[in-house]
Amino acid sequence: MSEISPVAFYLFAGMALAFSVLTVLKKNPVASAFSLVIVFFSFAGIYALLGAHLVATMQILVYAGAIMVLFVFVVMLLNSDSPSFDFRRSPLIFRFAAGLVCFAMFVLFVKVFRETGPSPSVGPFTSAAVEAAGGNTRVISELMFSEYILPFELTSILLLAGIVGSVALAKRHGSAEKASSKKGVSSVSSR
């Protein structure tokens, strides 16, 4: 493994942690979404440090687009500043349960990270090997279209099912609206 600059790692990891906390704590949903963008951006930074440039780029490309859609929904649909759940008013038992789960999670993390078993064996894809085979992008695409072609194609079928499902939902919604009223209600357009 190539060595990772500890300064850069702690910078990105710290940013990811801090903004994850902010995502949960911010009262304003739009502010939460902005924090989430920075979390994903920091993850991309860590991937880039590990030498996985393609994964880092895809992280930004895909999540930036995905959160953009989230944004639009937040701005358009959830236009309220009231939090959906006020923990100070919740029953005592919930508060107790939440505390217990947090503690259990913490213990679990400590246990996992203190476990220092035999160091994992180095696979065939070391940084040097990947660089020799023509870089990240080439190695991943070649693997994806040879060894992992079946999972890759199955994923596309999954996505197709999702598209067909959303179109079917939108169609039913649109026709129901048309049938139910002629008041000139603007039909819900969907992509």
Partner 1 sequence: METLLSLLSQIWASHAVLIITAIKAVLVAVTLLQVVPLMVWLERRGSAVMQKRLGPNRIGPLGLFQGIADGVKALFKEDNPPAHVFKFYYRLAPVVSLIPAYMTFAVIPFASSIAIGEHTISFQVADLNVGFLYIFAIASLGVYGIIMAGWSSNNKYSLLGSLRSSAQMISYELSLGLSVVGLLMIFSSVRLGDIVRQQGELLVQLGPLSIPKWGIFIQPLGFLIFLVSAYAETNRLPFDLPEGESEIVAGYHLEYGSMHFALFMMAEYINMTVAAALTATLFFGGWQMLPGLPALQALLTQNLGLVGTLADLLRVLFELGSFVAKTAFFLWLFVWVRWTLPRFRYDQLMDLGWRVMLPLSLANIFVTGILIYYKVL
Determine contact, residues 127/1, Cβ cutoff 8 Å: yes
Q: 3-state DSSP call for residue 127?
A: helix
Question: Is there binding between residue 27 and partner 1 (CB under 8 A)?
Answer: no
* Contact status: 170 vs partner 1 (CB under 8 A): no
- For partner 1, the binding residues in 130-169 under the rule CB under 8 A are 135-138
d(CA 191, CA 177): 17
Stretch that binds partner 1, among 72-80, 86-94, 157-165, 172-180 (CB under 8 A): 72-80
- Nearest CB to partner 1, comparing residues 9 and 71: 71
Taking each helix axis from N to C terminus, what angle separates 136-144 and 53-77, rounded to the nearest 10 degrees?
80
Q: Identify which of residues 164 and 176 has a Cβ nearer to partner 1 in the complex.
A: 164
DSSP SS3 for 15: helix
**Residue 67 CB partners (closer than 8 Å, separation 6+):** 33, 36, 37, 40
Nearer Cβ to partner 1 (50/60) = 60
Q: Which residues 6+ apart lie within 8 Å of 63 measured at CB?
A: 37, 40
Choice from 13, 15, 31, 170 touching partner 1 (CB under 8 A): 31
Is residue 54 a contact point for partner 1 (CB under 8 A)? yes
At residue 22, what are phi and psi to the nearest 5 degrees? -65, -35
Interface pick for partner 1 out of 21, 64, 129, 185 (rule CB under 8 A): 64
Cβ at position 66, least distance to partner 1 in Å: 10
Q: Using CB under 8 A, which of 8, 21, 72, 129 touches partner 1?
A: 72
Which H or E run contains 122? Answer: none
- Binding residues for partner 1, per CB under 8 A? 30-31, 34, 37, 41, 53-54, 56-58, 60-61, 64-65, 68-69, 71-72, 75-76, 135-138, 191
